[in-house]
Structure 1
Amino acid sequence: MKASIAALSALFVSAPIFATSPPKPFADTIYHNAQVITVNDKQPEAEAVAILNGKILAVGEAEEILRLKGDRTKVVDLKGLTMIPGFIDAHGHVMNTGLQAVSANLLSPPDGPVTDIASLQQALRKWAEVPVNKAQDFIIGFGYDDSQLKEQIHPTRFDLDKVSTDVPILIIHQSGHIGVMNSKALEMMKLTATSKNPPGGVIRRVKDSDEPNGVLEESAFFGALIPLFTQISPDENEMLFRAGMDLYAKYGYTTAQEGRSMSDSVKTMYEIAQQEPLPIDVVAYTDIQLGTDTLTAPYLSNSYTNGFRLGGVKLTLDGSPQGKTAWLTKPYLIPPEGQSAEYRGYPIMSDEEAEKYVGMAMENGWQLLTHANGDASIDQYIRAVKSATAKYGAKERRFVAIHAQTAREDQVQAFKDLNVIPSFFPMHTFYWGDWHAQSVLGDERAENISPTGWALDRGMIFTSHHDAPVAFPDSMRVYSATVNRITRSGRILGKDQRVSAMTALKAQTIWSAYQHFEEDTKGSIEVGKVADLVFLSDNPLTIDPMKLANISVMTTIKNGKIIYTKASDKTALESCASSTKCQKLASHTMMIAGLIPHKH
């Protein structure tokens, strides 16, 4: 591992093996005969862990920990399974992941069935025939990826019209930054030949015409999507939220993020948490452009209320490189249809607007997560942070650069200088690595996407995320991509940017906890921290790194309670027998569960 990272270990000093004044002498639960990876540099390994009142009471050798066994202590032999801290979502969209769960699965292999436009159309028809979906007055699909379609083009309104001209259809690109509507949906949204491109967005047109072809980019797409969400009922919102948490738990996440919320969804999540504690913790970040009315108590908080809190704000400066809407300083290797050879993508807003929003966050003490994929948008973000810092002073704000997909080495240095945490999306190397090299960026730029190595060279921490529903919240695929950087074709993309298995684990646990200002309570298996634990089928530190993605999450534990086990494939949502409403939501979720692939 890069030697310079050692200086950061002081951030995460271990507590003593035993709590000095435990509230009672015996543990509620003891797990032993385990390979415990604590992610605590002072005590990196252990054999057993004791839990009391949802917190870690002791960590150490089995003989010592078993002395805490009382008459009512539950003792569990893990039979050699590996225990790690619960995964912490550095950036994702848990409620939108619920939308993915209840939409037609348009993902390409290995996550879905779509390989061409014909199979996409078939997936939409199949979804529409499911009884619970027949009652809907729309068809919605998620996850198509033009880079993985045989035709390597976006479907258009005319392709979707072959599925239905009577029912509105919306399909969402895997990037989440582009969508396609059929003619009925365009009619309902009043998008015509006279409709103008909104600032920071594009309505694609039929060739040699002003008529929309159904493909909507960035703000044009979001402008159409927001009305859909505002029409969703409270019960449907709850279903989406719970379905998202359900999927996160299956992949070992004990803390999820809702990384771009509207005020209404913040209130919905808060109200759901008031009814009963959430199965996992959820920290939300509201879109700073869409309103700040929830950025007060009881929503904005440093602590969770029944598992929910609002952590700060989100700012979006550009689109996605795989969708060719990220804002670059150099042209795309192959521009999108209808664009010139000099096409570099485009910004969402002006420098003045970016500086206004970054300054607003600093002035009010809000933690800011900023989506910036292209290096031109990263330049814009750096300029805005420098300007606001000059005005409001340098403080520990833990601002985050989300994705930073094409960050140059000088920009990574600027992150360090400005105390900005880069949160990378290493799964790009698998899902779109070949596409980036062959169509988006070319070899040189593609080699250095998600530049984790440059961060480590500078003694920085970074976090790794999945950006669900852009990809499934598959913790082990995130892990594997961070370590291996293997593309779909088997190419190693950027061998100098690869990191060790331990570094990758820290990026999904203790460093993600630090990003959320929660490193004192989460992210490692230490005395006094919450008992958020995951049991894995294999040890990620000793297994062949090329097999990391095949490791299974066997059990997920939140606050000392089991919320998911692979043995029963059952989560808190699916076992909520005490609530009729919850049963109804679980029933709906399980009816569409066949559309969600599960590992092994």
Structure 2
Amino acid sequence: MQRRLALSLLRLACLAAQAGPAPDGADTIYLNGDIVTINDAQPSAAALAVRGGRIIAVGEREQVLASRRAGTRVVDLQGKTLLPGFVDAHGHVSLTGLQAVSANLLPPPDGKGSSIAALQSLLKAYAQGPVARSHKIVLGFGYDEAQLAERRAPTRQELDEVSRDLPVIIIHQSGHLGVLNSRALQLAGLNADSKDPEGGHIQREADGKTPNGVLEETAWFSAGMGLVQPSPKDYAAMLIEGQKLYARFGFTTGQDGRSDENSNKTWMALSQSGQMLIDLVSYPDITMPFTAALMKSAWVSRSYQGGFRIGGVKLSLDGSPQGKTAFLTHPYHVPPTGKPADYRGYPALPDQAVARHVDQAYAQGWQLLVHTNGDAASDQLIQAAEQATARHGAADRRTVMIHAQTVREDQLDAMQRLAITPSFFGMHAYYWGDWHRDETLGPVRGDRISPAMSALRRKMLFTQHHDAPVAFPDAIAILDAVVNRRTRSADILGPDQRLPVDVALKSITLWAAWQHFEEKDKGSLEVGKLADLVLLDKNPLKIPSSELRSIQVLETIKAGKSIYKAATTKGRAPAKAAKPGRA
């Protein structure tokens, strides 16, 4: 099935390559640079023309210039590189907005959170700022014990040193854990009598009863995130900031995976008021009560309304490998403190519940995105998909296994047979590669994390993602990580899983558009497709792979409208972003 779909894409590419300029002429023509089309039938072009937000000509210079008319704007690329706008295969734009208004606790190179003392210092500075003062909360995002000098999370007492009066809440970089100070625990109603929820864990102090502040999985989602409830006005502003961050990194389409009721209502309001900067496709949590009604609304569509649509549903089956909560078939290389040697993490849901939710999605014809980091969680999905397919028949559902970090070779075979597309979190090779090699998986399993080359050898379509705000929504960082698989310590994690640059580019453009059922409109530079474009200072196909991370996004263009322009070509600091609104 994957092969037939790939051939269909190629036939569409050939037809588009044969088309010529529209008779009404171009609004804008781009030339004098490298135009990388991500179209196998026409891999590069000398010029490209746009009219009404869509591409009307792409090819030789004189062919495209034939569409020039009075008033046509001709853009001299000055040797820079034009590509299709990047398509987010998996991320959380709404949470990226939350990250934007929180203290940055990320470790280097993305922040300064390298020790518990550093976290305390960053939080104390944030506590004196406008957000903490106006909202009476100290909120931080991005701590990672794998990168802290102490190799552990801070305790509630250490967060009490930031403030005893205000709630202090910090979010793990994975988003699957968090730490609360004593005041926040009190507000959340957590104490020595509190029980662990299904699929979650409240870490305890030496007495085995008193919460130490660290909450895992469902305990964190319900209690910790439950304390973070911005006003409608503040939430709308957060979602706009999340879009701006995506545009800064060249993304013209974003995803809000595992979206909640509040985020969906806010996205609808933003789209209706013309405040969408990029296209946003939402996947609400299938386990939540609000989802069934939402999936009957007109927002569930393959077409966008004002830049927003609901594309399907999300199901989460386990946690994160870096947080040692992913559900594995074999024990962690080094179990968490206090856990037995055979500790394998744990599932978010029992097998019966997984089967029920997968069957519901297949029966309703909903596209299903399923979070599985550990291979035991992947087994849960494969088993449920096997049963649901037998019951409802094969169809072009484009079910996606999100992360697929520890997926085995036999599981890839089953996924290919069941038409389950892997969306890999290949950035782990850089951000947590050393941690996986030494702590979570060990050297053998660590080498195979996010095995995209294994999927490519099977000629499977797959995508790569950033899972923002777990990592910045940085397409260039994805490219560098999956091509080089270089860790923070400069080790190469699984050299046989490194991808060619052209394949890596497809995984964040054309194949990501296909994953969203949008390959006819996005993902490559072809006549008739949207003029979703990104301008880079260098051509990733022409520089050494060791230099990929140095590439900078100079401009992002959505449907022919510039939505981001870099103020400088030095560094990746935020620069100019357009105001939200459709072209």
Common topology (TM > 0.5): yes
2:45 maps to 1:46: yes
User: How has the CA–CA distance of structure 1 residues 21 and 74 changed in structure 2, closer, same or farther, with 3 Å as cutoff?
Assistant: closer
CA distance in 2, matches of 1:181, 1:131: 21
Residue 379 of structure 1: SS of its match in structure 2? Answer: helix
Are 1:97 and 1:469, in contact at CA under 8 Å, matched by a contact in 2?
yes
Query: 2:38 is matched by which residue type in structure 1?
Result: V
User: How has the CA–CA distance of structure 1 residues 6 and 551 changed in structure 2, closer, same or farther, with 3 Å as cutoff?
Assistant: farther
Query: 1:282 is matched by which residue type in structure 2?
Result: L
Matches within 5 A, 1:156-555: 156-229=155-228, 231-291=229-289, 292=291, 293-555=293-555
CA distance in 1, matches of 2:488, 2:3: 30
- Quote the residue 1:108 is aligned against: 107
- Quote the residue 1:586 is aligned against: none
Matches within 5 A, 1:83-94: 83-94=82-93
- Quote the residue 1:137 is aligned against: 136
Residue 538 of structure 1: SS of its match in structure 2? Answer: coil
Residue 383 of structure 2: SS of its match in structure 1? Answer: helix
Q: State the Cα distance separating 1:226 from its structure 2 match.
A: 4.3
The Cα offsets for residues 282-333 of structure 1, whole Å up to 9 and x where unpaired, read as 0000000113221123221110001000001000000000000000011001
CA distance in 1, matches of 2:458, 2:531: 32
Give the alignment partner of residue 577 of structure 2, picking from 571, 580, 584: 571
- Quote the residue 1:67 is aligned against: 66
Q: State the Cα distance separating 1:209 from its structure 2 match.
A: 3.1
CA distance in 1, matches of 2:310, 2:489: 40
Are 2:21 and 2:64, in contact at CA under 8 Å, matched by a contact in 1?
no
Q: State the Cα distance separating 1:61 from its structure 2 match.
A: 1.6
CA distance in 1, matches of 2:323, 2:551: 30
Q: TM-score, normalised by structure 1?
A: 0.93
Structure 1: give runs of 5+ residues left out of the alignment.
Answer: 577-600
Query: 1:542 is matched by which residue type in structure 2?
Result: K
CA distance in 2, matches of 1:267, 1:516: 21
Are 2:188 and 2:227, in contact at CA under 8 Å, matched by a contact in 1?
no
CA distance in 1, matches of 2:443, 2:100: 34
Are 1:183 and 1:214, in contact at CA under 8 Å, matched by a contact in 2?
yes
Residue 272 of structure 2: SS of its match in structure 1? Answer: helix
Are 2:21 and 2:67, in contact at CA under 8 Å, matched by a contact in 1?
no
Are 2:20 and 2:57, in contact at CA under 8 Å, matched by a contact in 1?
no
Residue 263 of structure 2: SS of its match in structure 1? Answer: helix
Residue 68 of structure 1: SS of its match in structure 2? Answer: coil
Are 1:318 and 1:371, in contact at CA under 8 Å, matched by a contact in 2?
yes
The Cα offsets for residues 524-543 of structure 1, whole Å up to 9 and x where unpaired, read as 00000000000100000011
The Cα offsets for residues 233-253 of structure 1, whole Å up to 9 and x where unpaired, read as 111110110010000000000
Residue 257 of structure 2: SS of its match in structure 1? Answer: strand
Q: State the Cα distance separating 1:394 from its structure 2 match.
A: 1.0
CA distance in 2, matches of 1:20, 1:48: 12
Query: 1:203 is matched by which residue type in structure 2?
Result: I
Q: State the Cα distance separating 1:208 from its structure 2 match.
A: 2.8
Residue 49 of structure 1: SS of its match in structure 2? Answer: strand
CA distance in 1, matches of 2:3, 2:384: 28
- Quote the residue 1:598 is aligned against: none
Residue 562 of structure 2: SS of its match in structure 1? Answer: strand
The Cα offsets for residues 321-375 of structure 1, whole Å up to 9 and x where unpaired, read as 0000000011001111111111000001110000000000001110000000000
Are 1:18 and 1:58, in contact at CA under 8 Å, matched by a contact in 2?
no
Are 1:9 and 1:41, in contact at CA under 8 Å, matched by a contact in 2?
no
CA distance in 2, matches of 1:373, 1:524: 30
CA distance in 2, matches of 1:151, 1:297: 49
CA distance in 2, matches of 1:224, 1:47: 55
CA distance in 2, matches of 1:36, 1:9: 23
CA distance in 2, matches of 1:9, 1:133: 54
CA distance in 2, matches of 1:6, 1:501: 23
- Quote the residue 1:585 is aligned against: none
CA distance in 2, matches of 1:419, 1:156: 44
CA distance in 2, matches of 1:567, 1:120: 30
Structure 2: give runs of 5+ residues left out of the alignment.
Answer: 569-574
Mean alpha-carbon deviation: is it higher for 185-194 or for 61-70? Answer: 61-70
Mean alpha-carbon deviation: is it higher for 6-15 or for 203-212? Answer: 6-15
- Quote the residue 1:590 is aligned against: none
Query: 1:115 is matched by which residue type in structure 2?
Result: S
Are 1:7 and 1:459, in contact at CA under 8 Å, matched by a contact in 2?
no
Q: State the Cα distance separating 1:26 from its structure 2 match.
A: 1.3
RMSD: 1.5
User: How has the CA–CA distance of structure 1 residues 146 and 40 changed in structure 2, closer, same or farther, with 3 Å as cutoff?
Assistant: same
Q: State the Cα distance separating 1:567 from its structure 2 match.
A: 2.8
- Quote the residue 2:571 is aligned against: none
Residue 487 of structure 1: SS of its match in structure 2? Answer: coil
- Quote the residue 2:36 is aligned against: 37
Are 2:37 and 2:525, in contact at CA under 8 Å, matched by a contact in 1?
yes
Q: State the Cα distance separating 1:7 from its structure 2 match.
A: 8.9
CA distance in 2, matches of 1:302, 1:7: 18
Mean alpha-carbon deviation: is it higher for 56-65 or for 46-55? Answer: 56-65
Q: How many residues align?
A: 570
Q: State the Cα distance separating 1:25 from its structure 2 match.
A: 2.7
User: How has the CA–CA distance of structure 1 residues 351 and 487 changed in structure 2, closer, same or farther, with 3 Å as cutoff?
Assistant: same
CA distance in 2, matches of 1:339, 1:208: 15
Are 1:49 and 1:65, in contact at CA under 8 Å, matched by a contact in 2?
yes
The Cα offsets for residues 408-464 of structure 1, whole Å up to 9 and x where unpaired, read as 111111110100000000000000000000010000000000000110111101100
Are 1:55 and 1:529, in contact at CA under 8 Å, matched by a contact in 2?
yes
User: How has the CA–CA distance of structure 1 residues 6 and 267 changed in structure 2, closer, same or farther, with 3 Å as cutoff?
Assistant: closer
Are 1:198 and 1:220, in contact at CA under 8 Å, matched by a contact in 2?
yes
Are 2:37 and 2:84, in contact at CA under 8 Å, matched by a contact in 1?
yes
Q: State the Cα distance separating 1:216 from its structure 2 match.
A: 0.2
User: How has the CA–CA distance of structure 1 residues 7 and 370 changed in structure 2, closer, same or farther, with 3 Å as cutoff?
Assistant: closer
Query: 1:179 is matched by which residue type in structure 2?
Result: G
Q: State the Cα distance separating 1:272 from its structure 2 match.
A: 1.1
Where do 4+ consecutive residues of structure 1 move more than 3 Å? 4-7, 15-21
Query: 1:461 is matched by which residue type in structure 2?
Result: L
CA distance in 2, matches of 1:416, 1:171: 39
Q: State the Cα distance separating 1:549 from its structure 2 match.
A: 1.0
Query: 2:473 is matched by which residue type in structure 1?
Result: P
Are 1:18 and 1:57, in contact at CA under 8 Å, matched by a contact in 2?
no
Q: TM-score, normalised by structure 2?
A: 0.96
Mean alpha-carbon deviation: is it higher for 59-68 or for 239-248? Answer: 59-68
CA distance in 2, matches of 1:511, 1:445: 27
Mean alpha-carbon deviation: is it higher for 135-144 or for 248-257? Answer: 135-144
User: How has the CA–CA distance of structure 1 residues 148 and 26 changed in structure 2, closer, same or farther, with 3 Å as cutoff?
Assistant: same
CA distance in 2, matches of 1:443, 1:296: 47
Residue 33 of structure 1: SS of its match in structure 2? Answer: strand
User: How has the CA–CA distance of structure 1 residues 372 and 16 changed in structure 2, closer, same or farther, with 3 Å as cutoff?
Assistant: closer
CA distance in 1, matches of 2:148, 2:7: 45
CA distance in 1, matches of 2:161, 2:216: 22
Query: 1:103 is matched by which residue type in structure 2?
Result: S
Q: State the Cα distance separating 1:5 from its structure 2 match.
A: 8.0
- Quote the residue 1:26 is aligned against: 25
- Quote the residue 1:95 is aligned against: 94
Are 1:32 and 1:78, in contact at CA under 8 Å, matched by a contact in 2?
yes
Q: State the Cα distance separating 1:126 from its structure 2 match.
A: 1.0
Are 2:276 and 2:307, in contact at CA under 8 Å, matched by a contact in 1?
yes
Are 2:202 and 2:216, in contact at CA under 8 Å, matched by a contact in 1?
yes
